[in-house]
Amino acid sequence: MIGKTYTTMLGGKELSIETGKLAKLVSGSVTVRYGDTVLLVTAQASDSQSKLDFLPLTVEFEERHYAVGKIPGSFHRREGRPGEKAILSARITDRQIRPLFPKGYRHETQVIITVLSADGQNAPDVLGPIGASAALSISDIPWAGPTACVRVGQIDGQYVINPTAEQLTRSRMDLVVAGTRDAVMMVEAGAQTVSEEELVGAIEFAHKEMQGIITLIEQMRAEVGHEKFNFLEELDLAKDYVPELTEKAKAGGLRDALLTKGKKERSTKTKGLRDSIIAGYVPDPEAEGAAELTTALKNAYAKVEKQELRRLILEDNLRADGRDSKTVRPIWIEARPLPRAHGSAIFTRGETQVLGITTLGTERDEILIDDLTEETGDKFLLHYNFPPYSTGEVKRMGGQSRREVGHGNLAKRAIRAVLPSFEEFPYVIRVVGEVLESNGSSSMATVCSGTLSLMDAGVPIKAPVAGVAMGLVMEGENYRVLTDILGMEDALGDMDFKVCGTAEGVTALQMDIKIGGITPQIMREALAQAREGRLHILGKMAEVLAAPRPELSPTAPRIVSMKINPELIGKVIGPGGKQVRELEAMGAQVTIEEDGTIRIFSADAASAEAVKAKIEAVTREAKVGDEFDGTVVKTAAFGAFVNLFAGQDGMLHISQISEERIQNVEDALKVGDKLRVKIVNIDDRGKIDLIRPELEGKVAPRTPRTGGGDRGPRRDDRGRDDRGPRRDDRSRDDRGERADRPPRDREQVQWRSAEPPFPDRVPPAPAAPKEGGEE
């Protein structure tokens, strides 16, 4: 039998990992199946060591549309660049496996996750990390796994492992957790404002549930795993210089240099100290071997800096800018700095500054999501831009980086939890975070500036959201949690833990660990400290904007919503869309839904109201009891036809025109006359009977007409035709008979030109015409 399959139960369903069947030429290859979702995951390393000074690891997440029985919608009908969801899925795997490669390992390593089948209920994003862990564990690539990854939801107060897509719609949280046997390594979450304790409980639950997966992969490694290859660890020429450089740096004032406020000033002082020390070792930079020695000394000095900074934090509770571990950097905020944007705000925290901008649009502006799920639209967009000038650097500018996608998604999840529903606020919302300065926590500043710009635009969010990035420095059992970390604290520390939320609870978080993992106790402490920092930031935000502005921004477009009878949608659209084009020519966009909901979008409120009035006129329906100022458009012997509104007339019977009996309608009303009328009856064919309101109760009510076929005359209560005069110039009486000859009944008409077919039947004598009319 080809291949070997390993199985375990996860969340009440079978998880299987198969190896030895597909892609056998690669170092590590597995197939992961959960429900009808199937992934192929491969891991391969290059034969030679790279000269790069960092780990050259790449993780690719490949979505194949055949996995859901679809042909790609692109022009070439094949998959193109990975979409946002694929990038985020790849980042989940990367963040889980990267910390466990050995120090000094520099072989180019590639993990490729290919979705072969997707059932639409069991998400492939958390299966990819499981497959990567298994593939790396059985390969010959040096790696300190295994790890596992699961998703946790919370439904009706209960935690659920790997909830289905349907269950996630009812869940209060969407939490992804990765970890080793002993510790948690990565957390990613979006939530509907849950407490810190609920999150810790969910993380502990996830870590417990993933133990079966780790046991399974350990069994695979023991049975089919390859021996790990030896890699040539870089010769660390710097380590021999570290003790001596440490003494020289301390004597030269390294402590004071590290505690200098200001990123540029601090960098200038530390580099100046470094260069002066190195000059003592390399008097001639052009001499043979000088370049190699200079590089080694710079690496050694970097280690000295890192050690001293970590010592200051752990022993003296002092950080690079002089703060203690719990202090947030100074904050200043400006609302509405951009005069034409719908909403805008600048949020500055220390040397991190983000300009947040909100733009409001119509349903036509929603983004179409075409991945392995059903095609859907997203009415909330958040884009995070990180230009090179924000860090004072010069770099090539291209498309959106994976980092920008990841940071933007975190901010988006944080803010989405407080947005009003589309029914409450029928706008597509786009928030952009332009990072202008960056010295740590720019994604969290994007959350703050984005929230402020939404409130500035007048978007009725449920509560303000703020974010803060937490750090960790840990040596053995000694550790310290840091609030609002700097860029260098992120680089030299052991954890980057971003927490976003309102005053009531957490809406999103993201945690990455550079060490083997952290305990629940450290996580609880970090979350509690993050809450203190978040409340402080929210207080600063409230000093500028405590709540959304009561009115929509004057530059924001207006959306007017209305509802019509769905049967009248065709009248709004018109033949070939003529009517709706005329409406949009009035300066508005019109969207029509099947249930009769119409939304009118215009930059000018007056134009929107004008379009609404036009639609109301086109779709107006008459109701019994409604009163109108009508216009007589036609008179007849039996009454007058009165136009109530565009396309709708009613009949005012002669008996309902005046309190006194009249013989001729035109004695009282003429075409063009204006009068107030009221609807007293609408028959089943939609024909309307009117009365003059002031005569109600003073004249005998007319018996309502009953319906009939679409053809033939309408009859009053005495069976008489009230359609009006025939279309010739010969006058007829109120019964419709020719006035210039005696009336005839049907039998007379039948027998007028022949002998009676039955001698015993004699035609009745014609009735003498009555004087005048009865009505």
Cα angle 744, 708, 646; round to 5: 110
- Which residue has 């929603």 as its token pair? 366
- Which residue has 């299966």 as its token pair? 127
Determine which helix (DSSP H) or strand (DSSP E) holds 314, and give its type and residue range: helix 290-316
How far apart are the C-alpha atoms of 352 and 354, rounded to whole Å?
7
Residue 123: CA atoms inside 13 Å, Cβ hemisphere, count?
24
Q: Alpha carbon of 457 to those of 358, 452, 671: distances in Å?
A: 7, 9, 53
Are 556 and 360 within 8 A, CB to CB? yes
Are 152 and 195 within 8 A, CB to CB? no
Cis before 146? omega within 30: yes
- Which residue has 């204006």 as its token pair? 674
- Which of helix, strand or coil describes residue 637? coil
240 CA to centre of own chain:
54
Computed from CA positions of residues 582, 583, 584, 587, in that sequence, does the dihedral angle turn out positive or negative? Answer: positive
- The residues with which 511 forms a beta bridge, in sequence order, are 187, 497
Are 681 and 705 within 8 A, CB to CB? yes
Q: Using H for helix, E for strand and C for coil, what is the string for 680-705?
A: EEECCCCCEEEECHHHCCCCCCCCCC
Annotated binding site: 490, 496
- Which residue has 């000018």 as its token pair? 604
How far apart are the C-alpha atoms of 268 and 274, rounded to whole Å?
10
Are 560 and 585 within 8 A, CB to CB? no
Q: Which of 435, 431, 340, 355 is nearest to 392 (CA)?
A: 435
Q: Alpha carbon of 38 to those of 24, 287, 732: distances in Å?
A: 17, 60, 85
230 CA to centre of own chain:
47
Cα angle 517, 520, 526; round to 5: 90
Beta strands in 574-636 (DSSP E): 589-592, 597-602, 627-636
Annotated binding site for Mg(2+): 490, 496
- Which of helix, strand or coil describes residue 302? helix
Q: Which of 353, 347, 352 is nearest to 489 (CA)?
A: 352
**How do strand 589-592 and strand 597-602 relate by DSSP bridges?**
antiparallel
- Which of helix, strand or coil describes residue 213? helix
- The residues with which 630 forms a beta bridge, in sequence order, are 675
Pull the structure tokens for residue 324.
Answer: 């203690």
Q: Which ranges of 140-188 does DSSP label H, i.e. alpha helix?
A: 165-168
Cβ atoms < 10 Å from Cβ of 316? 11
